[in-house]
Structure 1
Amino acid sequence: MTTARGKTVFLWTLVIISIVTLSAPTLVVLGASFTAGNMITFPPQGLSLKWYASIAQATDLREAFLRSLYVSVVCTLIAIPFGTLAGIALAKYAVRFEKALQIYLLLPFTIPLIGSGIGLMLIFGNAGVLGQLWPVGIACCVINLPFMIWAVTASASSLDPDLELAAANCGAPPLQTFLMVTLPAVTPGVITGSLLMFILALNEFLVSLLLVDARIVTLPVQIYNSIRSIITPDLAAISVVFIGCAALAIMILDRLVGLDVFLKSK
């Protein structure tokens, strides 16, 4: 009894330590964003919303945030068709060199981001499109596409093949079977992967730093440029906005497909 209780206490201690460690930075930034002082401090020197009003009136931050949204939309729109088709193919069909393809899809995780960023910078530079926003969306898609593929593969693996056979026996052509049976079945994975791609592109820093110039910086790059001189509470406020966007995406994910589907896809 004592041993079982000791294990329970030990496990709960680890859980509490993990929760505190993960949430402490967020809580510090959240508290600092409401400070009434002119410097980032925790606990905050009084409570005020003036820094949120400051970022609402800051044209450079607002424009940088809109650019980040644009990059995320481009990344997501490209990832949906490519990631969906690749995920279904890997899960349902006997693809030649499947293992080699799966290893190849891991390259974005095995190659350091700085290496991928420099390679993409050279490619877009030779194409004459460096310094525009849409290549940043493509780059974010290339780097994070495995997340989309894994999410769709998890949904496609659970699809009963008899459903597609039944549709074919009823006279449905392959395209209609795909649109009416296969695609609806993998929709939870598509939604999960899409939200992941959107969040990852919204927060992408290193690749954005290499592919944009000073005229069209995204919000993470804008924040980096700001903290090189001085760290003020408005940066904490914009960080809270980022956290809020991620939390909103998680709420949408839970509402549409459920977090259990998301966790299974991982």
Structure 2
Amino acid sequence: MSDSTSKSLVIWAFVATAIVMLSAPTIVVLGASFTAGNIITFPPDGLSLKWYASIAQASDLRQAFVRSLIVATICTLIAIPAGTLAGIALVKYRVRFARSIQIYLLLPFTIPLIGSGIGMMLAFGKIGVLGSLWPVGIACCVINLPFMIWAVTASARNLSPDLELAAANCGAPPLQRFLYITLPAVLPGVITGSLLMFILALNEFLVSLLLVDARIVTLPVQIYNSIRSIITPDLAAISVVFIVCAGLVIALLDRLVGLDFFLKSK
């Protein structure tokens, strides 16, 4: 066996192992959601859709899912202007202490989520807004905003300054140059960051756990509260719904801007 063949076999062995390790939890949850039994088992004890019918009829899960959608929407609506303008500014302009600002924007990744959650819980509690959904949306935006900024900066780096100079020479005011040149150029990054922010906020658990109460629980918190007593197959079914939502977002991302751009922006 030649050296190149041996290297190829080793590489493909690592690739196959990684695929199996990444896919195994999803396959187990997917199989368990179709079980005909009353407890989570894999392989499933027969095949049935009754657990999907169960979650469709469960009003508490439906309401929690709607709350999660509201939180994700609030997060995305805040992230679009904030992340877009910040990303453009860091690339286009000579901002003082730009390096320090970029390091500061990494803080949500370096601070443990439990620390960020407690800090925001104290801050929102101080001003008396806990018990509403919009603080949860803001919190999700704060901890995930670097993803939005990185996606926009990846697009902004491809923007030629000559285009804006030409528009300025033709008499276009700053706002018109922004709307007709800068914004279309960074639109792939805005779309990428927006979809990513939406799905991250939809799945956010730890920070949501600290900011919600029994009246406004989001779906991840609702699932957590349920598994504290007993793990039933309907929880596997709702987990599959989350997986499908993430898959739809990835498909939409690939359709709109392409996954190559998304991977490069990382």
Fold similarity call, TM over 0.5: yes
Aligned to 2:256: 256
Q: Does 1:98 align with 2:118?
A: no
- Report the CA distance between 1:250 and its aligned residue: 0.5
C-alpha distance in 1, partners of 2:131/2:106?
28
| 1:91-113 Cα deviation digits (max 9, x unpaired) | 11111000100000000000000
How many pairs are equivalent?
266
Aligned to 2:176: 176
The runs of 4+ residues in structure 1 deviating greater than 6 Å are none
Q: Does 1:40 align with 2:40?
A: yes
C-alpha distance in 2, partners of 1:152/1:64?
31
Aligned to 2:155: 155
> What letter is aligned with 1:181?
I
> What letter is aligned with 2:198?
F
> What letter is aligned with 2:168?
A
Percentage of pairs with the same residue: 81
> What letter is aligned with 1:31?
G
- Report the CA distance between 1:262 and its aligned residue: 0.6
Aligned to 1:9: 9
Secondary structure of 1:68's partner? helix
Aligned to 1:70: 70
Aligned to 1:246: 246
Aligned to 1:210: 210
Query: Aligned-pair RMSD on alpha carbons?
Result: 0.6
> What letter is aligned with 2:20?
V
Q: Does 1:220 align with 2:220?
A: yes
| 1:4-48 Cα deviation digits (max 9, x unpaired) | 111110000000000000000000000000000000001101110
Structure 1 stretch displaced more, 108-117 or 159-168: 159-168
Q: Does 1:199 align with 2:188?
A: no
C-alpha distance in 1, partners of 2:38/2:162?
65
C-alpha distance in 2, partners of 1:134/1:42?
39
Q: Does 1:146 align with 2:153?
A: no
Aligned to 1:230: 230
Aligned to 1:136: 136
C-alpha distance in 2, partners of 1:97/1:148?
20
C-alpha distance in 1, partners of 2:162/2:18?
44
| 1:187-206 Cα deviation digits (max 9, x unpaired) | 00000000010000000001
- Report the CA distance between 1:143 and its aligned residue: 0.4
C-alpha distance in 2, partners of 1:202/1:264?
24
C-alpha distance in 1, partners of 2:18/2:164?
44
- Report the CA distance between 1:2 and its aligned residue: 1.1
Gap regions ≥5 residues in structure 1: none
C-alpha distance in 2, partners of 1:234/1:91?
47
- Report the CA distance between 1:163 and its aligned residue: 1.0
Aligned to 1:85: 85
> What letter is aligned with 1:59?
S
- Report the CA distance between 1:131 and its aligned residue: 1.4
- Report the CA distance between 1:171 and its aligned residue: 1.0
Gap regions ≥5 residues in structure 2: none
| 1:120-173 Cα deviation digits (max 9, x unpaired) | 000000010011110000000000000000000000001111111111111111
> What letter is aligned with 1:149?
I
What is the TM-score normalised by the length of structure 1? Answer: 0.99
C-alpha distance in 1, partners of 2:169/2:13?
57
What is the TM-score normalised by the length of structure 2? Answer: 0.99
